[in-house]
Amino acid sequence: MYLITADRDLRLYKECERCFWLNYKSRLPRPLPPPSLFEEASRHKLHEYFDKYRGQRPPDMTGDLEGVLVKDTELIGHWRSWHKGLRHSDSVMSAVLCGALDDCLVQDEEYYTPIVFRLVPKEPHENDVKDCEAFLDSLTYLLTANGYKTLEFGYAIFCYPESVAQHHSLLLKKKVVRIDSDVMRAEKLFYAAAELLRRRACPEEDATCPDCAWFNARVNFEESKK
């Protein structure tokens, strides 16, 4: 079974099919940037903050969010994990789609809405919002595939630093953006990625992809050592 993550792997597929294929089939996957300890620590603090308001809405976001945070702390803990979280498998395609959300709202105890956190260096712009669309598509699709009703939209909560001169301190400012989701678009993307992995032949190089050039140079270097 190929394990395809809803965020990183599907983003890679959209960026470059060849790099996506090589990431699974080659001993030389695309290099990843080092993890940000600041981002991980900030996300953890945001999780702690949201956990204080299970069954409610954070007081500073009452007017920005529809519904209340899912009450079940254990369930949210599972959904935040790539290993325990939402999954959809297809044995015919030999692929599993998995996704980890940051939190989830429920309306009328029936309709679920995923939330993702994004830490950005400055106030988010259109490209930052666009970058979240496919991920929220997939999370909504995963909720639906696991028997949860949705209203086919999600929230991206952007956090970015803002200097507060009078206090000589640095605070994280939050901006909530509602983003419409398309379950069929997510399903199509997942199955297209899974179908690509079933192919034996490597996709053609993308001339605009710098990582394809890196891979070719690395292969040539390895060959030269033999």
Please tell me the distance from the alpha carbon of residue 186 to that of residue 136, in angstroms, as a whole number. 9
* Total structural domains within the chain: 1
Question: Which residues is 117 bridged to in the sheet?
Answer: 157
What average pLDDT does the segment 70-89 reach?
A: 94
Is 82 in a helix, a strand, or coil?
Answer: coil
If DSSP states are collapsed to H, E and C, what string results for 46-68? Answer: HHHHHHCCCCCCCHHHCCCCCCE
Mean pLDDT, rounded, of the chain: 90
Burial (CB count within 10 angstroms: exposed 0-12, middle 13-18, buried 19+), residue 35: exposed
Strand 111-119 to 149-150 pairing: parallel
Total count of residues recorded for the chain: 226
Measure CA 126 to chain center: 17
SS3 content of the chain, % helix, strand, coil (to 5): 40, 25, 35
Considering only CA atoms, give the Rg of the chain: 20
Q: What is the pTM of this model?
A: 0.91
Strand 95-99 to 2-5 pairing: parallel
CATH number, position 85:
3.90.320
* Band (165; pLDDT cuts 50, 70, 90): low
pLDDT recorded at residue 166? 62
User: Does the pLDDT of residue 176 top 70, yes or no?
Assistant: yes
Compute, in degrees rounded to 10, the torsion defined by CA atoms 26, 195, 180, 57.
Answer: -60
* Band (161; pLDDT cuts 50, 70, 90): confident
Q: Which structural domain range is residue 184 located in? A: 2-225
